[in-house]
Amino acid sequence: MIEPARLAELVATATGILDDAVAPFIAGHQADAAVRKKGNDFATEIDLAIERQVVAALTSATGIGVHGEEFGGEPIDSELVWVLDPIDGTFNYAAGSPMAAILLGLLWRGTPVAGLTWLPFMGQRYVATLGGPVRDGDSVLPALAPTTLADSIVGIQTFNIDSKGRFPGRWRNAVLSSLTRECSRVRMHGATGLDLAYVGAGILGGAISFGHHIWDHAAGVALVRAAGGIVTDLAGEPWTVESKSALAAAPGVHERMLEIVKSVGVPEEYL
């Protein structure tokens, strides 16, 4: 495992680099779409600019390659690699919503060992290394205590009821419906990394991601695990960089959410 002192040094360096990205992030709020991607997804010029800025700074200062959402880069299976999402919640960001973040994770042989999630419009800066604790700026946050789903706020990804694929919209809707029978506080923030960070911070009791992109998950998985939370895929297997979904939650909440997900049947039944 990477030495704790070395890990702390890398995170301190990355913290300064993300702080330097906050000004352009805030200045570019409500930026127009610049690059169309698969489906109706897009990137703004700010996505591209921040990724270039952070990648150059991290590579120069740490000597470790970066895998970014917009330009790719260092292979994920490298022994050490930074994983960057320059703007998590791009639709929110372009529309003027404050629910957007900068995500940066550090993988060591495929395991998230550090996570940094900056929410510039909220003034929140979550950072943690393997073993915890999670910090918000200079404040040390408490470890996650066992709680119940009924007492929790839960985040879930947005979806189209008519979508097909690995997790059809009808199956996702069944999961959502079943969750609401026990938890009346389900939220769709439209930013996976933000949801995961809020689980690690104890704001959300749990969160579901139907996605598989490593840049959406690396930082948040590190934060949740550092806080004492549990992260698996939707089948209940421990989350890895190969996982096609994620279920992150506090102790107690995770077990119950997983039971509910399994109770609706397999996704193939909803095609």
**Residue range 9-42, pLDDT digits in tens:** 999 999 999 999 999 999 888 766 545 555 545 4
Bigger pLDDT: 2 or 59?
Answer: 59
Mean pLDDT, the chain, whole residue set: 94
Q: Which pLDDT score, from 0 to 100, does residue 113 have?
A: 98
Q: Are 93 and 100 in contact (CB under 8 A)?
A: yes
| pLDDT score of 44 | 74
Q: Among 151, 184, 163, 182, which residue's Cα sits nearest to residue 258?
A: 182
pLDDT at 59 over 90: yes
**What proportion of the chain, given as a percentage, has pLDDT over 70?**
95
Q: Are 196 and 142 in contact (CB under 8 A)?
A: no
pLDDT higher for 165 or 39?
165
Give tens-digit pLDDT for 140-163: 999 999 999 999 999 999 999 999
Question: What is the average pLDDT across 118-124?
Answer: 97
> What letter represents residue 166's amino acid?
R
Whether residue 251 contacts residue 143, with contact meaning beta carbons closer than 8 Å, is answered with: no
The model carries a pTM of 0.94
Q: What's the token pair of residue 83?
A: 């994983």
What CA–CA distance (Å, rounded) separates 160 from 167?
11
Burial of 143: CB neighbours in 10 Å, binned 0-12, 13-18, 19+: middle
Is residue 248 very low, low, confident or very high in pLDDT (cuts 50, 70, 90)?
A: very high
> Model confidence at 244, in pLDDT bands (50, 70, 90)?
very high
